[in-house]
Amino acid sequence: MLEYFLMRITEAARRLGTSPRMLRYRDSLGLLPPVRGRPGGAGHRHRQFGARELDAVTAELRLEQRYDISPAALAFGLRVLAEPPVRAAVADLGRRVGRLPSPPERALDFEQERALRLLSGPPAGSARTARPARPRP
The three-class DSSP label of residue 35 is coil
- Dist. CA 65–CA 39, nearest whole Å: 37
Assess contact for 12 and 49: CB atoms under 8 A: yes
Cβ-based burial of 70 (10 A; exposed 0-12, middle 13-18, buried ≥19): exposed
Provide the pLDDT for residue 9: 92
Residues in the chain: 137
End-to-end CA distance of the chain: 71
In the predicted structure, residue 123 carries a pLDDT above the cut 70:
no
Give the pLDDT mean for 100-121.
73
In the predicted structure, residue 126 carries a pLDDT above the cut 90:
no
Give the pLDDT mean for 127-131.
54
Q: Nearest-5° angle of CA 38, CA 30, CA 66?
A: 120
Strand partners, 67: none
Question: Is the overall model pTM greater than 0.75, yes or no?
Answer: no
> Using the 8-state DSSP alphabet, how is residue 99 labeled?
S
| pLDDT single digits (tens) 3-27 | 468 999 999 999 999 999 999 999 9
CA distances from 83 to 34, 74, 79, 86, 92 (A): 18, 14, 6, 5, 14
| pLDDT single digits (tens) 59-82 | 999 999 999 999 999 999 999 999
Provide the pLDDT for residue 13: 95
User: What percent of the chain stands above pLDDT 70?
Assistant: 73
Assess contact for 35 and 47: CB atoms under 8 A: yes
Provide the pLDDT for residue 75: 97
Provide the pLDDT for residue 8: 92
